[in-house]
Amino acid sequence: MSSRNPALQGSRRGRVLGWLIVLCLVAVGAYWYFGRDAGAPATPAGRGFGPAAFRNLPVPVRLATASEQTMRHTLRAIGTVTAYRTVVVRSRVSGELLQVHFKEGQRVQAGDLLAQIDPREYQVALDQALGQQQQNEAQLQSARRDLERYRLLFKQNSIARQQVEQQEALVKQLEGTRVSDQAAVDSAGLQLSYTRITAPISGRLGLRQVDQGNIVNASDTEGLVTITQTQPISVEFTLPQAEVSDVLQQLRAGQTLEVVVSDQNDIQELARGELMSVDNQIDVATGTLRLKARFANEDERLFPNQFVNVRLLVSEEPMLAIPSAAVQVGSIGTFAYVADDENTVNIQRITIGRVDGGRTAVLEGLEPGQRVVVEGTDRLRDGGSVDVVSIDGQDVAAAKPASNGRARQGGAAAAASAPAH
């Protein structure tokens, strides 16, 4: 009697048979996939099923034509919006803040009343100065009349010359006192006028720093409120010293350079202005030069201390240009895929220049009228065929369905007329 288990032997034979079946299927699949193109007769283009057939299929692409275009020399930078003028409104005298005549954030004009400080103390000082002035003025008038009488008596040899001279000195002394009294009156009146705090410039108010009823002093550093002039407004930015020469050349020629600012994400344009001034020295720590541009800011889209993207338009000139999407970079350098009339693409080395938006200037390597691939470059190879979908944004495949339909109809008719074997 055998010691082997029949059930175990059957299980082993089943596993071996299963593996043999799997190996046979893999072999058949490999032969069908890799050997079909080599062993099968030639088929029409695009009718095969192997990888070689897919490699020979035309690649759908979009083309653009190289042409002369106006290219702008634009310098980019990051800038900060700064108020054209900023004033911290402070009190020039001390006293109780009686009234506040402004609202936070409102726009004011130069000379508008902002606040009122208790004027009584300064009104008393002015009245005192006026009283002293009147008293001294009366003494001066009396001294002048005495001087006239003394001169008359001196002509009659009734008094000595010394008495006349003393009276003349007294008149001059009182005249000097009158000048001092007038200065004291003016000073008191000036201090009284400081109790009315007015806006020194036109602009927009910030947040109030002091509430009504508080005692304010001329030494307070925070002040009552801050006024920023936002119409017009300025933007400060920096440029590397290597790019400064082109800007200075245009400024010395009397050109007005346009400046465009956009939001922090460089998506939405905020304002357009002009370059106003250039700093007089380069920062040795960063190698950059500070510039300032001026904007009308009528819609107040620019806000002080706001970060913006700056584009400075230096010059404009016609140049041969292609879309930037057509520019490729590889081991051979910068190149582009150029399509000929037979819809065959070739690699063409190019030398590029300035970039203006989505366009790139081509200095060498292309001629006007040549067509370059702007979309579909991933599967392209030198000498490969392409299927042109559009040229310069215009669809050129609209007529293909009709022609393909006619071709299919012709093929069907030929197949129908062919004799059966």
Mean pLDDT of the region 182-208: 94
Q: What stretch of H or E contains 238? A: strand 225-240
Nearest to 66 by CA among 344, 270, 324: 324
Q: Are 252 and 134 in contact (CB under 8 A)?
A: no
Q: Are 62 and 374 in contact (CB under 8 A)?
A: yes
CA distance 273 to 276: 9
Most confident range (mean pLDDT) of 30-34, 231-235, 249-253 is: 231-235
Fold of 58-70+319-397: 2.40.420
CA distance 395 to 387: 12
CA distance 192 to 328: 75
What is the residue-averaged pLDDT of the chain? 84
Residues 21-27: contacts with CB under 8 Å, at least 24 apart: none
Give the pLDDT confidence of 307-355 residue by residue, as tens digits.
999 999 988 889 899 999 999 998 889 999 999 888 889 999 999 988 8
Token pair listed for 79: 């800038």
What per-residue confidence (pLDDT) applies to 421? 33
Fold of 74-84+229-316: Elongation Factor Tu (Ef-tu); domain 3 (2.40.30)
Local confidence band at 27 (pLDDT 50, 70, 90 cut-offs): confident
Q: Where are the domains of the chain?
A: 9-54, 58-70+319-397, 74-84+229-316, 88-216
What percent of the chain has pLDDT above 90? 56
CA distance 56 to 379: 11
| 3-state class (DSSP) for residue 217 | coil
Higher pLDDT, 109 or 377: 109
What is the assigned CATH class of domain 88-216? mainly beta
What per-residue confidence (pLDDT) applies to 279? 92
Give the pLDDT confidence of 137-189 residue by residue, as tens digits.
999 999 999 999 999 999 988 889 999 999 999 999 999 999 999 999 999 99
Give the pLDDT confidence of 272-309 residue by residue, as tens digits.
999 999 999 999 999 999 999 999 999 989 999 999 99
Q: Is the pLDDT of residue 413 over 70?
A: no
Residue 295: burial class (beta carbons within 10 Å; 0-12, 13-18, 19+): buried
What percent of the chain has pLDDT above 70? 84
Q: Is the pLDDT of residue 4 over 70?
A: no
